[in-house]
Amino acid sequence: MPVTLSQALRSFLLVARHRWWIAPLVLTLTVGFIWAQESDLRTEPAYYAVSRSIEVADDLDALLVAGVQPKSVVLRPSERAQLELLKSEDIKARVIATVGGDATVTVSQSEQQVQFLSAVVEEGGRDTFTFRFVPSNVFTLSCTEEVRTYCEASIDVYIAELTQLRKSGITAGLEHLSALLRASQQSLPVSSSESQRLLSQIAVVDAAAIDPQVRVTVLSTTVTEEGATVVSVGGGSYLFGLVLGLILVVLIWAQLTTVDRRIHDARLIQRKLPSVRLLGVLAQDAVSTRYFVATATSRARDLGKKTMRLLPLRGPAIEGLLASLSSETAGVNFGVSGPVSELPIAELIGNSDAADVVVVQLHRDRIDELEQTISVLENVGRSLAGVVLRA
């Protein structure tokens, strides 16, 4: 009997349901292959160029409470001198010891800013403007290295060293300002209001010198990959891998459908062995058991038999099935035998009072085995009641 399209599709879906694990396996392999190809095509940069701009600000606003201008604090050493100290070999050695890599970091300071102070209109209509140069608080730290993490870690350590130098410079500047204020105060009468004002300013300056605060704000960070071209496969290639994997999965399932001889449902038996009676499907429930007993009892009466012999298509034995049937018998005795291929000749041709029921294990037993078993039973003259499927 030729196979119809609906039968072929049904067989394909059964194979797909019971061989579902093929899909994730093949998809994983195809996408993994695409990933491996991408890894082969990707070229790592020869080196990385990391640049970070920061703004360093002194937090001396507390001095204003006592009437001391923060601008009167002169850093010691100056910002230019601190920058030179930051470039020294001692600090470089400390950075290398901390990071564990010899990354060269270049530190630069932005150009000085011009600050407008005042404008004076003199006699004769002449205007006088006063300006001053203010050091910039913006620093740029740059590093070029093969290992990016070395650059980033080295820049972090340099920023910490710059902050510490700044704090030391502020402390020295506050101490110098305190000394100047103290000298001025000592030249005045102790009870004078000016002396008391200076003492108040000295106390505030000394307090600020204990732990000066420095704020560091990261303005920007740029990372540039240089020295090599990065070639990578985009997301479209991964999509292609998934589509290719799905096609392979369908082809594999179709091939298995063609070569798979296992019995997945009753339709294959009805198509291959239309003359064989199907007595039911035994599942793990009492309803299917009662249905089978009723069908087998009716079939036994039709054949004039009082005993049904259960024969598994192939091992193992099915004593457990007999126990589940014992409580449902209705005038018919059920017995259990081994597979036909293992029966001795005397047992195979004997016991003519019993009708045989071939027990087929779904998704395991093959249709060719069933055809061979039924042929043997018919050739030795056994009375075949039918086939029951066991889920």
Q: Beta-carbon neighbour count of residue 41 at 10 Å?
A: 12
Contact 58, 84 (CB under 8 A): no
User: Distance (Å, rounded) from C-alpha 90 to C-alpha 168?
Assistant: 17
Better pLDDT: 292 or 113: 292
User: Distance (Å, rounded) from C-alpha 181 to C-alpha 48?
Assistant: 51
Convert the pLDDT of each residue in 26-73 to its tens digit.
888 888 887 776 665 555 667 888 999 999 888 887 788 788 887 778
Q: What is the pLDDT of residue 159?
A: 93
Nearest to 209, CA basis, from 170, 179, 238, 248: 170
Section 357-383 average pLDDT: 86
Most confident of 146-160, 176-190, 349-363: 146-160
Classify domain 266-390 at the CATH topology level.
Rossmann fold (3.40.50)
Least confident piece of the model among 134-148, 202-216, 232-246: 232-246
Convert the pLDDT of each residue in 248-281 to its tens digit.
888 888 887 777 777 877 887 888 888 888 888 8
Convert the pLDDT of each residue in 324-349 to its tens digit.
565 555 567 888 888 877 878 777 77
Q: What is the pLDDT of residue 1?
A: 45
Nearest to 135, CA basis, from 63, 214, 67, 58: 58
Convert the pLDDT of each residue in 211-222 to its tens digit.
888 989 999 999
Whether the model pTM is above 0.75: no
Q: Do domains 47-226 and 266-390 have the same CATH topology?
A: no
Q: What is the pLDDT of residue 155?
A: 93
Most confident of 172-181, 227-236, 289-298: 172-181
Convert the pLDDT of each residue in 170-210 to its tens digit.
899 888 888 888 888 888 887 788 888 888 888 888 888 88
- Token pair of 375, please? 């042929």
Model confidence at 323, pLDDT cuts 50, 70, 90, reads: low
Q: What is the pLDDT of residue 54?
A: 92
Which percentage of the chain shows pLDDT scores above 70?
82
User: Distance (Å, rounded) from C-alpha 178 to C-alpha 209?
Assistant: 9
Q: What is the pLDDT of residue 284?
A: 76
The mean pLDDT value of the chain amounts to 80
Parallel/antiparallel/unpaired status of strands 213-226 and 278-282: unpaired
Parallel/antiparallel/unpaired status of strands 333-336 and 307-312: parallel
pLDDT at 367 over 50: yes
Contact 365, 264 (CB under 8 A): no
Section 319-327 average pLDDT: 59
Convert the pLDDT of each residue in 197-206 to its tens digit.
888 888 888 8
CATH architecture of 47-226: 2-Layer Sandwich (3.30)
Q: What is the CA angle 284-19-236, rounded to 5?
A: 140
**SS3 call for 103:** coil
Q: Beta-carbon neighbour count of residue 365 at 10 Å?
A: 21
Type of residue numbered 173: G
Better pLDDT: 7 or 18: 18
Q: What is the pLDDT of residue 320?
A: 59
User: Distance (Å, rounded) from C-alpha 62 to C-alpha 67?
Assistant: 9
Section 115-126 average pLDDT: 61
* Ranges of each domain in the chain: 5-42+231-259, 47-226, 266-390
- Residues paired with residue 130 on neighbouring β-strands, in sequence order: 118
Section 347-352 average pLDDT: 69
User: Distance (Å, rounded) from C-alpha 373 to C-alpha 370?
Assistant: 5
User: Distance (Å, rounded) from C-alpha 30 to C-alpha 251?
Assistant: 14
Q: What is the pLDDT of residue 156?
A: 93
Report phi then psi at 343, rounded to 5: -75, 140
